[in-house]
Amino acid sequence: MDLDSLEELRANDPGALGVLIAEFPQQVLQGWELAQGWEPRPQDGDVSAVAILGMGGSAIGGDLVNAIVADTCPVPIHVVRDYPLPGFIGQDTLVIASSHSGETEETLSAFEEARSRGARLAAVTTGGSLAEIAHEEDIPLLEFAHPGPPRAAIGFSVSLILGILSRAGLVPDASGDLKRAAALLDRAAVHLREDSSTAENRAKRIARMLYGRIPVIYAAEHLAPAARRWKTQCNEVSKTAAYFEILPEFDHNAIEGTGFPEAAQRDLVLVSLFSASYDERTVRRVRLTEEILSSAGMAVEEVKVEGENRLEEALWSVYLGDYVSLYLAALNGVDPHATPNLDSLKQQMARSD
């Protein structure tokens, strides 16, 4: 596979996932615009917690928003990826169900439970049962049009959820920040997209380095969800075994896992997402961690993220990782759009009702 041949890249991507990934900056702005039509109910901002219900590509937007607003949101935000709901969720919790298809059973089940507990509900979806329930029950709904797979709607997911929190008065208006973040992504795209050569394109070079190995992506603070996103995109898009770790916890266990099996040193590649804005103790920790891992014979690639604030750094990291996964799919010779195992499992679960 020649990553510099547009023809070969397109032949490997019949569902045009590359085109959808490129739309990330526009999605961020479109989602925010759509969310401005959200009419908060009285007391939506007067909640003691926010819970975002979702799975996979529809949950990660919640993690990213949580990381981005961690220093401004006055109430805790929890992302729930399961059927049961934690006990704290009740009448004074704002519960946002996020499901691209509107058909994900874990999300629908948790949503139903939140409804029975009298929580303040909201829904973000492209349609399906979630939209139907919202219409029938008069639950506030942000319905967006997106023909691609859930993982390619990350821009919508982030800005719609952020928009709801902002309209509810829980976080400040992010219009200007999102415009600047989208502009940063547009500038980054010039050196990430498919028509930029490997010499210019960091995503293509990282994909080459990951090829044939098991990536372990790690990060700290506001970049932790980006590490998770890299991992899930390597899984779903590139069909690659991949894992993620979060600092500082990494240093209390995973840092010892370098010796066995011997193949670990050959097969694993560690990718460190590094922000110059990390707390100074975290910066020291990242440096020491890299030194120890390298001395233990592990391959470590540091990615210094770009951006002026948490929002920009988190979105830039996601954009880079999404392109890495696209090029890794090309090197693996797999369709980046298709998720046959995931689809088959969902179908079988639906049949076993």
Least Å from the CB of residue 24 to ligand PA5: 14
Site string for ligand PA5, 221-240 (x = CB under 6 A): ---------------x----
Q: How many residues does the chain have?
A: 353
Least Å from the CB of residue 246 to ligand PA5: 20
Least Å from the CB of residue 179 to ligand PA5: 26
Least Å from the CB of residue 108 to ligand PA5: 9
Stretch that binds ligand PA5, among 70-78, 99-107, 259-267, 285-293 (CB under 6 A): 99-107
Stretch that binds ligand PA5, among 75-83, 97-105, 190-198, 214-222 (CB under 6 A): 97-105
Stretch that binds ligand PA5, among 44-52, 100-108, 176-184, 204-212 (CB under 6 A): 100-108
Stretch that binds ligand PA5, among 40-48, 96-104, 115-123, 190-198 (CB under 6 A): 96-104
Q: Does 100 engage in binding with ligand PA5 (CB under 6 A)?
A: yes
Q: How many residues bind ligand PA5 (CB under 6 A)?
A: 14
Q: What is the 3-state secondary structure (H, E, C) of the chain?
A: CCCCCHHHHHHCCCCCHHHHHHCHHHHHHHHHHHHCCCCCCCCCCCCCEEEEECCHHHCHHHHHHHHHCCCCCCCCEEEECCCCCCCCCCCCEEEEEEECCCCCHHHHHHHHHHHHCCCEEEEEECCHHHHHHHHHHCCCEEECCCCCCHHHHHHHHHHHHHHHHHHCCCCCCCHHHHHHHHHHHHHHHCCCCCCCCCCCCHHHHHHHHHCCCEEEEEECHHHHHHHHHHHHHHHHCCCCCCEEEECCHHHHCHHHCCCCCCHHHHHEEEEEEECCCCCHHHHHHHHHHHHHHHHCCCEEEEEECCCCCHHHHHHHHHHHHHHHHHHHHHHHCCCCCCCHHHHHHHHHHHHCC
Q: What are the residues facing 42 on neighbouring strands?
A: none
Q: Which residue in 30, 107, 166, 240 binds ligand PA5 (CB under 6 A)? A: 107
Q: Which residue in 25, 61, 62, 149 binds ligand PA5 (CB under 6 A)? A: 149
Least Å from the CB of residue 339 to ligand PA5: 6
Q: Does 151 engage in binding with ligand PA5 (CB under 6 A)?
A: yes
Q: Is the Cβ of residue 154 or residue 320 nearer to ligand PA5 in the bound state?
A: 154
Q: Is the Cβ of residue 99 or residue 166 nearer to ligand PA5 in the bound state?
A: 99
Of the candidates 106, 221, 236, 312, the residue annotated as catalytic is 236
Please report, in angstroms and rounded to a whole number, the separation of the first and last CA atoms in the chain. 43
Question: Does residue 236 have an active-site annotation?
Answer: yes
Q: Does 109 engage in binding with ligand PA5 (CB under 6 A)?
A: no
Active site residues: 236, 252, 346
Q: Which positions touch ligand PA5 (CB under 6 A)? A: 55-58, 99-101, 104, 107, 149-151, 236, 339
